Structure 1
Amino acid sequence: MKIAAFEVRDDERESFTDESNRVGVDVELHAECLDPSNVGLAAGCDGVSILGQSHIDAAMIDALADAGVKVVATRTIGYNHIDLNAAKRRGIMVLNADYAPNGVAEYTVMFILLVLRNYKPALWRGQVYDFSLEGLQGRELRNLTVGVMGTGRIGATVIQCLTGFGCRILAYDPHPNPKVAEHAEYVDLETLYAQSDVITLHMPLLDSTFHIINRETIAKMKDGVVLINCARGELMDLDALIDNIEAEKIGGLGLDTVETEGDLIHRDRRTDILTNRGIAYLRQFPNVVMTQHMAFYTDAAVRSMVSCSVDGIRAAIVDGDFRTRIA
C-alpha cells in the first residue's frame, strides 16, 4: 500500500516514519501543499494525507480519482477545505483526524487569563524596563461569567478546566451534553451573550455558524466583553472585531485563528509585503493577543494526527474500516 503525504512539517516526519513502519505501508513525504500542479505525485497511491492548506475542490477530487486515489485523509479535525459532495460522487472516502481535546482546552484557558491580566502590554513594558502598573489592573476569573459556545469534546474539556477557577459557566450547544450540564448551565444564545463577561468559541465552521460573531451579536454582549477563538477564524467577522475593539465594546480578544489568515498561517512572511490589512491592524491593539494557529500544537496531538491519517487510510483500504469517516 502506498500513501502520499503533503504539507508535511519537519516535526511530523519522525511520526510518519514510526507509523508507516508500525502498520506496514509505504509513505512518500512532500513538504508542499497538494494542488493541481503536483497532483501527479499521487498517481499510484491508495490514499493521500493533507493538512488544511490543501484545498481539495471538485476538480482536485476528479484528478485524484483518475489517479487511482481511494482515500483522502486530512490531519485536521476540520474538513471544510474538502468538497465532500464531489468525493462522494467519485467514491473517494474522506477521513479527518482525532486528538485529545486537552491541548486546545488548556490553550483556551491560557488565552482567557492572558487577556484578563493584561499580559501583552505588561510584556511590552518589561522589555524596555518599564515596571509601572498604571493601566495593567486585571480581573479575577472567579468573579466572572464565562460563556462557552459549543460543548463538543473541546468545549466540554474547557468547561472541566474552568470549574477549578470558581467562575459561573454558561453553555450553548444545539445538542446539550448531560455530563456538561453538571458543571455548566445551558442557556440560549441571547442569554449567553447578555450575561457573559468572557465568551469562548468551540464550534465547527458550518453555513449556520459562519460569522456567528458579528456586529449584531456583539451589540447584544456586555460592554468590555472578552472574546476567545481557538476554533475557526471564520466564526468571527474580522471587520466587526476591529470596529468594536476601537469602540471599546470589546474589552479584549484572544485569537489563535482569524478570518483571512490562509496566506499567513504556518509560513515565515518576515520579508514579504503583506496585503492582509485587517489582521495587521487588529494585532497592534494592546488588548488583542494573537498566535499563529497553534492551539492544537503539542507533541501528543502531532503524533495522533499522523497516526489517524496513516492508520486510517490503511484500515479503510485493507480492513474496510476507518478511524473517522466523513464521506
Structure 2
Amino acid sequence: MKIAVFSARPYDRQSLDAANVRDDARAAFEFLYFDAVLDAHTVALAQDCEAVCVFVNDRLDAAVLEALHAQGVRALLLRCAGFNNVDVAAAQRLGLFVARVPAYSPEAVAEHTLALVMTLNRQTHRAYNRVRDGNFMLDGLLGRTLHGKTVGIVGTGQIGLATARIFHGMGCTVLGHDPCPSTAFEAIGASVALEVLLARSDIVSLHCPLTPQTHHLIDTAALAAMKPGAMLVNTSRGGLVDTHAVINALKSRHLGHLAIDVYEQESGLFFQDRSGEIIDDEVFQRLMTFPNVLVTGHQGFFTAEALQEIAQITLRNLGHFAAGTPCPNAVPPPAG
C-alpha cells in the first residue's frame, strides 16, 4: 500500500520509517514523502496512493477530499490530535477512513508551556543576548515569582491536566475550565466558569481544541475580563485567539504578556525557513514588535518521545485501515 506523506520534514521521515518495520525487518507500507503542504494545488501528488498522512497545516476541505477520493485515496491519517483542518462531514459522505493521534506525550506540550512562561516572565531570552554582548545590567529583566500565583487552564484534557500538575507542583493555585470537567483535575485545582478563571488568573493557558464554539474564544471581551497585566499563553490552536484583539490589548497595556506557539495564519509561515524573505503578514509583524511577546513556531509537541509515539500510533491506525478493523482513534470517534 502506498501512502503520500505531506508536510514531511526530515524528522517525520526518520520517525515514520523507524515505526514502519515488520517482524521480518521489511517495510510494512510504502511511504512517499513530500515537503509540500496538502492543498488544492498539491493534491495530485497523491495519485496512485491509497492513503495520505497529513499534519496540522495541511488543508483537507471538501474540494481537496473529493479530489483525493477521485484519485483512489481512501484513508486520511492525521499526525496530530486536532482535526479542525478536516471537513469531517465531507469525509464521511465520501466514505473516507479518518484517524488521528489523540494523545502523544501530553507532557511535551505542557513542558513547552512552562518554558514559554518562564522565559517570558524572567526575560531569559533577552538576558542571553545581553550577556553575549557584554551587557550585564539587570534593568528591564524584572520578573515575578510564580509561587503563589493563580494559573487558569482552559481545557483540562490530557495536556491541560499535565500543565496543571506542573504549575500546582510549583506552588501555584490552579483553576480550570472545561465543558467536560476532569475528575483528575479536581484533585489539584478548582473547576470554575470561564469568566471567573479569566478574572482571577495571573496566567491564562489555552489547551482546548479548535471548534466553531471555541473559535476566537479569547476575543476583545475575554481580554477585557482578564486581570490587568496578566499573561496569555496559547500552545493549542491559533484560531482560539483573535490576534487583532490581542494586539489592541497589548497596545493598551491591559495584557501584560503574550506567549504563543501557534498562530491563526501560521500555515504560510511555520515549519518553513523564511529568514531570507520579507514576511508580508502585517499582523504577525506587528506582534513581533512588542517586547513582551514571545513566539515559537509550533514546536510544543517536538520531542523525541512525542515523535516516536506519533509515528507508532499513526502506523497502528494505518494497520486498522488495512485490516478493515475498528479504529479507536477514528474521527469522529466510534460510538460507545
TM-score normalised to structure 1 length: 0.95
| Structure with larger RCO (C-alpha < 8 A, sep 6+) | 1
CA positional deviation for 1:152 = 0.4
Q: For the Cα contact (< 8 Å) 1:193–1:222, is it kept in 2? A: yes
Q: Secondary structure at the match of 2:228?
A: coil
Give the partner amino acid of 1:19. A
- Deviation sequence 1:192-219 (CA, Å, 0-9, x none): 1111111100010011111111111111
**Partner residue, 2:178:** 173
Give the partner amino acid of 2:34. H
- Deviation sequence 1:165-224 (CA, Å, 0-9, x none): 111111111111111101001111111111111110001001111111111111111110
**Partner residue, 2:235:** 230
Q: For the Cα contact (< 8 Å) 1:121–1:286, is it kept in 2? A: no
Q: Secondary structure at the match of 2:69?
A: helix
Q: For the Cα contact (< 8 Å) 1:101–1:153, is it kept in 2? A: yes
Q: Distance in 2 between matches of 1:310 and 1:219?
A: 45
1:119-134 to structure 2, matched below 5 A, reads 119-134=124-139
Q: Secondary structure at the match of 1:253?
A: strand
**Partner residue, 1:54:** 58
Q: Distance in 2 between matches of 1:227 and 1:188?
A: 17
Q: Secondary structure at the match of 1:121?
A: helix
Give the count of matched residue pairs: 327
After alignment, is 177-186 or 24-33 more displaced? 24-33
**Partner residue, 2:203:** 198
Which of 242, 246, 252 is equivalent to 2:251? 246
Q: Distance in 2 between matches of 1:203 and 1:42?
A: 31
CA positional deviation for 1:37 = 3.9
Q: Distance in 1 between matches of 2:105 and 2:311?
A: 13
1:298-313 to structure 2, matched below 5 A, reads 298-313=303-318
**Partner residue, 1:106:** 111
Which of 168, 172, 175 is equivalent to 1:163? 168
**Partner residue, 1:42:** 46
Q: Distance in 2 between matches of 1:118 and 1:36?
A: 42
**Partner residue, 1:144:** 149
Q: Distance in 2 between matches of 1:149 and 1:43?
A: 41
Q: For the Cα contact (< 8 Å) 1:199–1:226, is it kept in 2? A: yes
Q: Distance in 2 between matches of 1:10 and 1:162?
A: 33
Q: Distance in 2 between matches of 1:246 and 1:122?
A: 24
Give the partner amino acid of 2:30. D
After alignment, is 269-278 or 289-298 more displaced? 269-278
Which of 118, 122, 125 is equivalent to 1:117? 122
CA positional deviation for 1:323 = 4.7
CA positional deviation for 1:69 = 1.6
Give the partner amino acid of 1:168. T
**Partner residue, 1:21:** 21
Residues 321 and 145 (structure 1 numbering): CA distance in 2 closer, same or farther, change over 3 Å?
A: same
After alignment, is 121-130 or 219-228 more displaced? 121-130
CA positional deviation for 1:143 = 2.3
Structure 2 unaligned blocks of 5 or more: none
Q: For the Cα contact (< 8 Å) 1:5–1:27, is it kept in 2? A: yes
**Partner residue, 2:327:** 322
CA positional deviation for 1:314 = 2.1
Q: Distance in 2 between matches of 1:127 and 1:120?
A: 11
Q: For the Cα contact (< 8 Å) 1:257–1:292, is it kept in 2? A: yes
After alignment, is 117-126 or 283-292 more displaced? 117-126
Give the partner amino acid of 2:86. I
**Partner residue, 1:84:** 88
CA positional deviation for 1:319 = 4.2
Q: Distance in 2 between matches of 1:178 and 1:158?
A: 15
Residues 291 and 317 (structure 1 numbering): CA distance in 2 closer, same or farther, change over 3 Å?
A: same
1:210-221 to structure 2, matched below 5 A, reads 210-221=215-226
Q: Distance in 2 between matches of 1:128 and 1:4?
A: 47
After alignment, is 200-209 or 112-121 more displaced? 112-121
**Partner residue, 2:12:** 12
Q: Secondary structure at the match of 2:233?
A: strand
CA positional deviation for 1:235 = 0.8
What CA RMSD, in Å, does the superposition of the two structures yield over aligned residues? Answer: 1.6
Q: Distance in 1 between matches of 2:132 and 2:255?
A: 26
Residues 134 and 18 (structure 1 numbering): CA distance in 2 closer, same or farther, change over 3 Å?
A: closer
CA positional deviation for 1:81 = 1.3
Structure 1 unaligned blocks of 5 or more: none
The alignment status of 1:94 with 2:72, answered yes or no, reads no
Q: Distance in 2 between matches of 1:223 and 1:257?
A: 23
After alignment, is 126-135 or 142-151 more displaced? 126-135
